[in-house]
Amino acid sequence: MSTSHRAWKWLLIIVTLVTGPSYAWSFTSDKRETLRGLTEISVLVEYLPDEIEREGLRREQLKRDIELRLQEAGLRVLPLTEIAAASGSPYLYVSIAMSASPTITSASAIPTVSLTFKQLAHLSRSPTTEFFATTWEGPVFQALSTTNRIADIHSKLSDAVGRFLIDYRAVNSK
């Protein structure tokens, strides 16, 4: 590693430590680079909170909606059972969680929607050490409507998938 490269690396580490995590997460170009060369992907939607399912939101429908958008963007969507064979085993992870507070009723709880891209990574100091890591993270949204939480969740998740596709296209333009 050259001296100037090492100096830049240390400068980046110092800036990140000094300015805090919120500034470090704003380096979208770094996150975008982890999407370069991506051709196959899977989608994993975490189990939904019971109160959200009772309102009519279904994991399977969310998964199908996301998969369709990924396919339209030119990505090959694999079932989770086949993702281990794909290079890097990449997948989008969807999580919808409810605010937890003893003073908030389930009807007025605010859902938080997050979308992350995970893939196998290797430690630079130990290249044989392999693990799943979040290499891209979209904005975390809170569904603000308490009267139509399902529509708001759909809208927020659609925005997050849109952000992912913008970043994907930015580094994979033909």
- Contact call for residues 129 and 107 (beta carbons, < 8 A): no
Q: Are residues 72 and 1 in the same domain?
A: no
| Position 4, amino acid | S
Q: Are 110 and 144 in contact (CB under 8 A)?
A: yes
Count of domains observed in the chain: 2
The pLDDT value recorded for residue 21 is 40
Range of the domain at 15: 1-32
Query: Tell me, what's the pLDDT at 29?
Result: 53
168-to-12, 30, 36, 56, 65 alpha-carbon distances in Å: 24, 12, 7, 31, 18
**CATH of residue 46:** 3.30.160
Give pLDDT, residue 145: 63
Q: Give the integer Cα–Cα distance in Å for 11 and 6.
A: 9
Q: Are 22 and 100 within one domain?
A: no
Residues 28, 40 within the same domain: no
Task: Give pLDDT tens digits along the chain (174 positions).
Answer: 555 544 444 444 444 444 434 333 444 457 889 999 999 999 999 999 998 999 999 999 999 999 999 999 999 999 988 988 888 999 999 999 987 655 555 566 788 999 999 999 988 898 888 889 999 999 888 877 667 889 999 999 999 999 999 999 999 986
22, 44: one domain: no
* pLDDT recorded at residue 31: 84
pTM attached to this predicted model: 0.76
